[in-house]
Chain A
């Protein structure tokens, strides 16, 4: 994974894991790699990896079961909530970018519909 070295690494890994969970790359309820394995997988510091799981656990995205390991949440509501949040973030980001380019929200919506039609037409 390519990191932006100017931003906290733990945050970027948290986002990546959330993304994988929502997209189904990580199956809900599945076992997540141990702290050290996570560190090796993403080539990050073990303390950073620990922080990642700490944050995810705080947000309820994963839970550590004594002696068994860390597991991704299987709660469909929680995952759906996460999906929504990430979608909203994507949309906000899109709109902000379009604003910078000089498009109003209404214009952005029109362009979006146009683009979608063009896609469907293919």
Chain B
């Protein structure tokens, strides 16, 4: 469903994404892993078109990403991005205005789970509440691809279970979910594939249950193995 071919992004003298060839199919929850600066966020932003590649291509269903693909791809960035004058209700209305696959019902249901109120102003939300709001509005869409960048950041333990449940519920045989998080353990059981990135390059992509059966290691173990010896 999503494929990057020789995808490269250079910022000045830094190569953020370095000739990445990564193919992701529908029906999976993929953990996109790597330390800070490995290129995960830049890669995801190139899927949405927020960042334009320096070279190479990013394809959604075989076509270069653009206007049409944005209709079917839902991205949640790490940073808060709603307009400061908005309330929780305004955020929902905005998505309703621009995304055909948005469901107000789903939004309301998710808000209830996250204990957020329509009247709240985004300006006054704590970082935890803002994180929950971003997830709620992103998952309220019925997209083909969901990309959540750091969905667990700033969220308390119990709410994380709630979010994991929402993520599982959003998954489906015709959907692709990409999760990126530093909290590797949180994704251990819900992801079924993992793509490891380092210094802008793709290190490897694994099927997790297979890895457990053949190598007897967890995703967290593999993470440590890949990045452990690189960082002094």
Touch A–B, Cβ below 8 Å: yes
CA distance A5 to B172 in the complex (A): 23
Please name all residues of chain B whose beta carbon is closer than 8 Å to the beta carbon of A51 when the two chains form the complex. 209
B32 to chain A minimum Cβ distance, whole angstroms, is 15
With A43-B189, A47-B27, A47-B28 already in contact, the answer to whether A9 and B169 are too (CB < 8 A) is no
With A43-B165, A45-B168 already in contact, the answer to whether A8 and B212 are too (CB < 8 A) is yes
A48 within 8 Å of B by Cβ?
yes
Is there an interface contact between A5 and B169, defined as CB atoms closer than 8 Å?
A: no
Instruction: Give the A-B contact count at a CB cut-off of 8 A.
Output: 59
A50 and chain B: residue at smallest CB distance:
B173
Is there an interface contact between A10 and B168, defined as CB atoms closer than 8 Å?
A: no
B29 within 8 Å of A by Cβ?
yes
A120 within 8 Å of B by Cβ?
no
List B residues 169-207 near A (Cβ within 8 Å): 169, 171-172, 185, 188-192
The DSSP consensus for interface residues of chain A is helix
Is there an interface contact between A45 and B191, defined as CB atoms closer than 8 Å?
A: yes
Please name all residues of chain A whose beta carbon is closer than 8 Å to the beta carbon of B190 when the two chains form the complex. 43-45
A96 within 8 Å of B by Cβ?
no
B216 within 8 Å of A by Cβ?
yes
Band of interface residues on A:
10 to 19
CA distance A15 to B190 in the complex (A): 18
Is there an interface contact between A45 and B189, defined as CB atoms closer than 8 Å?
A: yes
Please name all residues of chain B whose beta carbon is closer than 8 Å to the beta carbon of A46 when the two chains form the complex. 29, 168, 171-172
Mark A38-76 against chain B: 1 for CB-CB distance below 8 A, else 0.
011011111110010000000000000000000000000
Partner among A5, A10, A36 whose Cβ is within 8 Å of the Cβ of B188: A5
Please name all residues of chain B whose beta carbon is closer than 8 Å to the beta carbon of A36 when the two chains form the complex. 168-169
Is there an interface contact between A6 and B168, defined as CB atoms closer than 8 Å?
A: no
B218 within 8 Å of A by Cβ?
yes
Is there an interface contact between B216 and A43, defined as CB atoms closer than 8 Å?
A: no
B213 within 8 Å of A by Cβ?
yes
**Most chain A beta-carbon neighbours within 10 Å: one of B172, B185, B191, B218:** B218
A111 to chain B minimum Cβ distance, whole angstroms, is 32
A106 within 8 Å of B by Cβ?
no
Please name all residues of chain B whose beta carbon is closer than 8 Å to the beta carbon of A44 when the two chains form the complex. 168, 189-190
- Interface positions of B (Cβ within 8 A of A): 27-29, 161, 164-165, 168-169, 171-172, 185, 188-192, 209, 212-213, 216-221
29 interchain pairs, CB-CB under 8 A:
A3-B188, A5-B212, A5-B220, A5-B221, A6-B212, A6-B217, A6-B221, A7-B212, A7-B216, A8-B209, A9-B212, A36-B168, A39-B168, A42-B189, A43-B164, A43-B168, A43-B190, A44-B190, A45-B171, A45-B189, A45-B190, A45-B191, A46-B29, A46-B171, A46-B172, A47-B27, A48-B189, A48-B192, A48-B209
